[in-house]
């Protein structure tokens, strides 16, 4: 078995550097301050907050994999004063137009406005109050969808406490595994956090064993039915399927590699030869695992 220290070293390696964290902080505060001070738009602005992986402290550092560059992605949510009749497409258009005056707006996404800064990308997401949470506009369907990113922040913190402060580090390992093996394919982001909460052992202190069990549990839970995507419930909104954006092809690819790497990780955990175990883990977690240690 590879010592737990090797996994802790990888976690330090994939942690966003302080310069990236500072850039992310500067970017989201400058955008929020700008909207608050805007002579017209500020009248629509009710509340703004940071959410997503940087807010939940599950982000991993930027990197390049097979020529594909992964930049830090920061999510800023702005709650606006609109009623249920508001046009989703027009709201996104108005938000983009306001931000273009002072920021490099790269594009308007389906549910957000993407701003590019030198080191990080920022998605500015408009919301409106809806029940106990919020609803988010969809530019393509022109509908509003229930969501609650503030609840997600608290949920993630609660899971970390339940896992003895090992949940967020384990999520980072899972995100890194997805990146080095799947690039930009789904599932990713918050879907992986929910999968970790449901399928990873909460009381295992060795990250390698916890990771191996996570993959094995994924295979046991979903491996018998690959004819359809499973439903993964949003902890904040009953009935929302977090995997709804994942194509069946992507899900099958995800499951195929999860099954293969479950066997590789289990062998790495049980083999007595540490050098061979290191090589096996590098097949799963990429060449940066155990960097500087013999293999």
Do 91 and 48 form a contact (C-beta atoms < 8 A)?
A: no
8 A C-beta contact, residue 274 and residue 4: no
Identify which of 289, 260, 206, 294 has the alpha carbon closest to the alpha carbon of residue 1: 206
Three-state DSSP string of the chain: CCCHHHHHHHHHHHCCCHHHHHHHHHHHHHHHHHHHHCCCHHHCEEEEEEECHHHHCCCCCCEEECCEEECCEEEEEEEECCCCCCCHHHHHHHHHHHHHCCCCEEEECCCCEEEECCCCEEEEEEEEEECCEEEEEECCCCEEEEECHHHHHHHHHHHHHHCCCCHHHHHHHHHHHHHHHHCCCCCCCHHHHHHHHHHCCCCCCCHHHHHHHHHHHHHHHHCCCCCCCCCCECCCCCCCECCCCCCHHHHHHHHHHHHHHHHHHHHHHHCCCHHHHHHHHHHHHCCCCCCCCCC
Please report, in tens digits, the pLDDT of each residue of the chain (295 residues total).
Answer: 899 999 999 999 999 999 999 999 999 999 999 999 999 999 999 999 999 999 999 999 998 877 788 899 999 999 999 877 889 889 999 999 999 999 999 999 999 999 999 999 999 999 999 888 899 998 888 888 899 999 999 999 999 999 999 999 999 999 999 999 988 788 988 999 999 999 999 999 999 999 999 999 999 999 999 999 999 999 999 889 999 989 999 999 999 999 999 999 999 999 999 999 999 999 999 999 998 776 6
pLDDT, residue 291, reads: 84
Rounded to an integer, what is the distance from CA 250 to the centroid of its chain? Answer: 16
Instruction: Write down the pLDDT at residue 67.
Output: 77
pLDDT at 63: 87
The residue ranges of every structural domain in the chain are 4-14+152-285, 18-147
pLDDT at 184: 76
The pLDDT score that the predictor gives to residue 56 is 95
Omega cis (within 30) before 27: no
Q: Which residues are 146's β-sheet partners?
A: 135
Q: Which CATH class is domain 18-147?
A: alpha beta
pLDDT at 294: 65
Q: Indicate the CATH number for domain 4-14+152-285.
A: 1.10.1410.40
pLDDT at 295: 60
């Amino acid at each position: 078995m590879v010592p737990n220290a090797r996994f802790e070293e990888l976690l330090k390696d994939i942690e966003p550097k302080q310069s990236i964290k500072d850039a992310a902080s500067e970017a989201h505060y400058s955008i929020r301050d700008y909207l608050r001070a805007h002579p017209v738009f500020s009248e629509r602005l009710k509340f703004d907050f940071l959410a997503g992986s940087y807010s939940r402290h599950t982000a991993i550092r930027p990197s390049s994999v097979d020529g594909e560059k992964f930049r830090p992605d920061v999510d800023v949510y702005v709650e606006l004063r609109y009623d249920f009749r508001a046009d989703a497409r027009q709201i996104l258009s108005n938000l983009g137009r306001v931000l273009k005056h002072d920021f490099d707006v790269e594009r308007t996404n389906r549910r957000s406005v993407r701003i590019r800064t030198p080191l990080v990308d920022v998605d500015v997401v408009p919301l409106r109050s809806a029940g106990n949470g919020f609803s988010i506009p969809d530019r393509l369907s022109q509908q509003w969808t229930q969501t609650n990113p503030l609840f997600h922040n608290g949920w993630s913190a609660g899971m970390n406490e339940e896992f003895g402060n090992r949940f967020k580090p384990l999520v980072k390992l899972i995100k890194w595994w997805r990146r080095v093996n799947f690039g930009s394919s789904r599932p990713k982001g918050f879907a992986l956090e929910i999968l970790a909460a449901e399928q990873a052992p909460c009381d295992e202190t060795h990250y390698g064993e916890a990771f191996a069990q996570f993959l094995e549990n994924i295979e046991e839970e979903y491996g018998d039915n690959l004819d359809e995507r499973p439903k993964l419930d949003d902890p904040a909104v009953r009935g929302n399927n977090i995997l709804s954006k994942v194509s069946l092809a992507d899900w099958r690819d995800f499951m195929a590699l999860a099954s293969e790497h479950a066997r590789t990780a289990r062998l790495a955990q049980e083999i007595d030869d540490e050098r061979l175990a290191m090589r096996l883990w590098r097949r799963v977690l990429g060449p940066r695992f155990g960097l500087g240690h013999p293999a």
